[in-house]
Amino acid sequence: MMTSSAQNLGKELQSKREQLGYSLQEVAEHTRIRKVYLESMEQGRLEDLPGHAYVTGFVRVYARHLGLDSDDLLACLNVPQEGDQAPLPDSDPDDKASEMPQAHPRSGRGWGAFVLGFVVVLALGALFYFIPVSFDSGAPLKSSANDPEGNGSATTDRSGPGFRGCYR
């Protein structure tokens, strides 16, 4: 669907680009618009662009890069400008509502269970970290209460076969 306004737009963009001495590849690299789309715009084949929003965006970027007024170019195409509202389709809202899937309300139970589980894991980790555990085969640990001389030199016997190291 090549309209004369699209062809005029394309010719104007192409002539300005050539006047400035830019190649399509240079414009594509600077504007980050694919070269194929630039060629389509210059040839007036706007229907080859991905969608209506892309036509507006690509024309704006390309025109600004060339120093042209993008609003004037878009006005020639009868493209809605920013702030313009597109016409609403004539349809009964009740028809659409019946077709739309209903959202299921989410309960907070999922997050609550996650937080509770996390707290339990932290509590168990703290319990195993801070409470000393003896791996001896039933032999009691020596403490200052077992120090008959009272000189404070009581030590824990860790040389037995049941000792496997400490956690800290």
CA distance 31 to 28: 5
Question: Tens digit of pLDDT for each residue in 150-168?
Answer: 555 555 555 555 556 555 5
Tokens 């004369």 sit at which residue?
Answer: 4
* Within a domain: 122: no
More confident of the two residues 52 and 100: 52
From 57, 76, 95, give the residue that closes a domain: 76
* Within a domain: 148: yes
Structural domain including 165 reads 132-168
pTM for this prediction: 0.46
CA distance 3 to 104: 47
Can you tell me whether residue 67 is helix, strand or coil?
A: coil
Average pLDDT over residues 35-44: 89
- CB–CB of 40/24 below 8 Å? no
Average pLDDT over residues 114-126: 93
> Into how many domains does the chain fold?
2
Residue 110 has pLDDT above 70, yes or no: yes
* Within a domain: 95: no
Reported as half-sphere exposure (CB side, CA atoms, 13 A), residue 159 has a value of 2
* Within a domain: 126: no
CATH number of the domain residue 15 falls in: 1.10.260.40
How would residue 93 be classed by pLDDT, with cut points 50, 70 and 90? Answer: low
How would residue 52 be classed by pLDDT, with cut points 50, 70 and 90? Answer: confident
From 56, 76, 96, give the residue that closes a domain: 76
CA distance 85 to 72: 18
- 88 φ, ψ to 5°? -80, 145
